Structure 1
Amino acid sequence: MNIQNSYRQDKAAGKLYLVGTPIGNLEDMTFRAIRILKEVQIIAAEDTRQTRKLLTHFEISTRLVSYHEHNKQASGPELIRLLQAGDSIALVSDAGLPAICDPGSDLVKQAIEAHIDVIPIPGANAALSALIVSGISTDRFTFLGFLPRERKPLLQELQALQQGKETLIFYESPHRIVKTLEAMLEVWSPSRQMCMMRELTKKFEEAVRGTLQECYDYLKENPPQGEYCIVVEGSTASETEAAIVWWEAFSPEEHVEHYTTQGLDRKEAIKRAAADRQMPKRELYNYLHQE
């Protein structure tokens, strides 16, 4: 168990601050974020060149060091050593909140294990910003970051998400978004509502709202530009009904074989078939092995 009292003054160790930075518009920087970046001894940045522009704009002269995916094995333990010695460190990403889809999460885990206080300094976030303007339900949602690049694991991931009723949020690059929507159209209903946000908070911010098919057709006519945040509604009632119908004519073994022919191993195929049939996977496994 780890209990943190963030502002207790009797600890010799420094604090690790997770500082949110603008995702485009510099006016989204908070007063508190600027103060913390000035007060800490070190700022650890994913891309020091990008962060230096931000620091220069706000006249922050704090020592800047690099912490990213390719050097985290060496720099992570050194940052923990400095924290234990009493230095406070601010962790920032290129844009938005650190430790989301970036190596900062590893540093957070190491700090917690070392009983160092980890303190959030809230700021802009692309996923939530896109969600609240999407017009799609915000009651329940799941953030999934970037989907797999390769076609087979991409389709498997989308199939696993097919029956979920919560809103889904993804990040995607302009080079991959068309292929991602093509895969979604293979697995999900083309009538699902979605919103594609690009260039959030910047001059060319754009929100494209419509069905999955309409958004795909839009991209075919308007080549993608900039980084995207995609918000997609969960499974609709008609989609759920259709999903129930397709396997009713299958025997349990045929149901499992359907998934194995799509590239799933037998264990995952049994798990998926059991979920379709709303039965424990162990029960389906035992049934298949009695035959």
Structure 2
Amino acid sequence: MREERARYETVADEITEAYLRGDHTEGVALARAAMPDLPAWRADLAHLAACLLALGGRPEEAYEELRAAFAAGAWWHRRILLEDDDLADLAGIEGFADFVRESQARADAAADTTRPPLLRRPEGEPHGLLVTLHGAGEEAEDAATEWAAALDAGCVLLAVDSSQRNTPTYRSWPDPEVAARDIATAVAGLDAADRDLPLVTGGFSAGARPAMRWALAGSPGTPVGFVAVAPAVFPTDLDPALVRAGADRGVPGVILLGEKDDDVGEGAQATYESLRQAGLACRLDVVPGLGHTYPDDFDVRLRIALSSLARN
């Protein structure tokens, strides 16, 4: 599945490049050509094609692209169909409102199907618990792989899947309440001994946002700190009351951010500064030359971060 996703991401990058060049026809052709070999990503590819068709002045064809994918089993959460500016011209097409409702019904049914978190245990007696949340478009398996150095640090590792999906393959954490529920359910499934271990919350990109909220809120469990990698967060995403509560408890945090992360860099930097101003013991590590991804030496950085948070 990870290999297929890597292939999809390569194609999606090529489509995005065509989008940015304004070459809508080329982007649509790339999306359609990839569909037979990437059936699991039919919804995502159809969405990209529909956006390009609509931008190219062909909204009716964009709608038909979505309907064809829907007939093949695809679906989209309503926010994708209604809040994407590229699809705005579809709103006036006859039948589109009904189509959105039908698609949302599939999305709701899929949301009722949750997957158990992935649990990994270190060799020997554990002395910590790291719960990590994947980035947008990723899964718990990705987080378990990227954060595996926690096992070498003697931590139990729990990787949680978000139940929130925009398409069959695109998971993220847009609704804070649903994210909190997913986290609470995953933690409740641990045995008592694991729940009593010193808890660190971790997350990448969109997953770092609920990980930070969780650590600041102080429950479920009693987090002793957080590790946020390339956090997709702005100061307005963190309730001031939560920030004050975290500061009052002395909750520390480590933020890892790429020097060239144009995706989230501005918001992450501003959030770090606001947390520091609120009195939170937060550290920002900027990695030279890094974009929106994990640093090559993340294993080392994670072990150091977990060690420093455990000493707090």
Whether TM-score is above 0.5 comes out as no
Larger Rg: 1
Structure with greater helix share of residues:
2
Under a length normalisation based on structure 1, what TM-score does the superposition of the two structures give? 0.30
Higher relative contact order by CA 8 Å / sep ≥ 6: 1 or 2?
1
Under a length normalisation based on structure 2, what TM-score does the superposition of the two structures give? 0.28
